[in-house]
Amino acid sequence: MKVPFLDLHSPYIELKSELDSAYQRVMESGWYILGKEVEAFETEFASYCDAKYCVGVSNGLEALHLILRAMEIGAGDEVIVPANTYIASWLAISQAGARVVPVEPDEKTYNINPLLIENAITSRTRAIIAVHLYGQPADMDAINEIATRHNLKVIEDAAQAHGARYKNRRVGSLGEAAGFSFYPAKNLGAIGDAGAVTTNKAELADKIRLLRNYGSRVKYDNEIQGYNNRLDELQAAFLRVKLSKLDEWNTRRLQVARQYLNTLSNNSDLTLPFTPKWAEPVWHLFVIRYPNRDELQQKLHQSGIATLIHYPIPPNLSKAYSRHKDLEEYPASFPLTESLSREILSLPISPHISEQEIDMITKVLISFI
């Protein structure tokens, strides 16, 4: 038996008739950018996130970038961001012209360590980007409390956490604004690139609507210098179909995670994911830690089990940032982030993986550790 890391064909088969009819509806409409489907999706996704507003955009990176632009965060400003995240969280800051200030994670949750945030704040700090890594919400009360005290904005990077809950509240409305990605492999995935911003602030939503569409509300009336970061009708129509399945598929991911957690148990070498009492993660990834990670990955590969590493090169060690001016004044090394990157391994998890497949993965894994 071979187990792929992720199977994107099964979700299509499960929803084939709905997705195909969404495709036909849009094709027949003759209207392909910013129309009824985008508006309907925005209403449905805002409601799903318990947020007042949703603005569909072109992808997750641009969702974060436009939030920073709308907040007028740029040159001379600093933004605090986890050291261990997908590089897009950093790139959004750099593209806005602001300085990246990375902070190390909590060793158990892998999310930004609130105890280390205060040390990284300077007179130039404007915002904190909290990433809900691997689908588990960051400790938002602690982060918001620090932000309030220092008059900072809090932005959620919710690209991996559609539907996750923090103290019974959905991510997407826990800060001033949230950026989502609908990259096909995410829990809510489009059939191509797509993203969204959610917020409870009318003014911010309005500004992002302008920014995503050349700075104009009315065609050829350009109020500000904007971008082309629109969500198209086809993707919005597909996302509406997928959104109707999101809770069911997230529940299935939870069952898979429980099967892993019940079958594998922490031993001195293997560290399983840790979930704080207040977190309801949506298990975008199931990440274990093992000192001899490369050898384990190789053995699993030889047994037909595909795994991935999220992420093998932390942004500070990437070619894009290792000599970047942003890291000069700060410690250029992030020991915990770097050691995590050498030990973490993502096991297959998805709504469509079978119990038998998980059973086989855990048996093979146990035989190697």
Ligand X SMILES: *Cc1c(COP(=O)(O)O)cnc(C)c1O
Q: Which residues bind ligand X (CB under 6 A)?
A: 59-61, 85-86, 88-89, 131, 157, 159-160, 181, 183, 193, 195
In whole angstroms, the minimum distance from the beta carbon of 220 to ligand X comes to 29
DSSP 168: T
**Residue 175 CB contacts under 8 Å (≥ 6 apart), including other chains:** 130, 140, 143, 144, 153, 154, 155, 156
In whole angstroms, the minimum distance from the beta carbon of 29 to ligand X comes to 25
Residue nearer to ligand X on the CB measure, 23 or 311: 311
Residue nearer to ligand X on the CB measure, 60 or 102: 60
In whole angstroms, the minimum distance from the beta carbon of 19 to ligand X comes to 20
Residue nearer to ligand X on the CB measure, 183 or 260: 183
Q: Which residue has the tokens 């038996």?
A: 1
E strands, the chain, in order: 53-57, 78-82, 99-103, 125-131, 153-157, 165-166, 169-170, 177-181, 195-199, 216-218, 221-222, 279-280, 286-289, 344-347
| Among the listed residues 237, 241, 213, 239, the one whose alpha carbon sits nearest the alpha carbon of residue 225 | 213
| Among the listed residues 204, 153, 193, 228, the one whose alpha carbon sits nearest the alpha carbon of residue 51 | 204
In whole angstroms, give the CA distance from residue 15 to residue 42: 21
- Axis-axis angle for helices 293-302, 355-368 (nearest 10): 130
Residue nearer to ligand X on the CB measure, 60 or 357: 60
DSSP 192: S
Residue nearer to ligand X on the CB measure, 188 or 204: 188
In whole angstroms, the minimum distance from the beta carbon of 295 to ligand X comes to 27
Residue nearer to ligand X on the CB measure, 125 or 187: 187
Query: Which residue is closest to ligand X by CB?
Result: 60
In whole angstroms, the minimum distance from the beta carbon of 209 to ligand X comes to 19
In whole angstroms, give the CA distance from residue 103 to residue 193: 29
**Residue 262 CB contacts under 8 Å (≥ 6 apart), including other chains:** none
In whole angstroms, the minimum distance from the beta carbon of 80 to ligand X comes to 15
Residue nearer to ligand X on the CB measure, 189 or 358: 189
User: Is the backbone peptide bond immediately before 290 cis, with ω within 30 degrees of 0?
Assistant: no
- Tell how strand 153-157 and strand 177-181 pair up: parallel
In whole angstroms, the minimum distance from the beta carbon of 61 to ligand X comes to 4
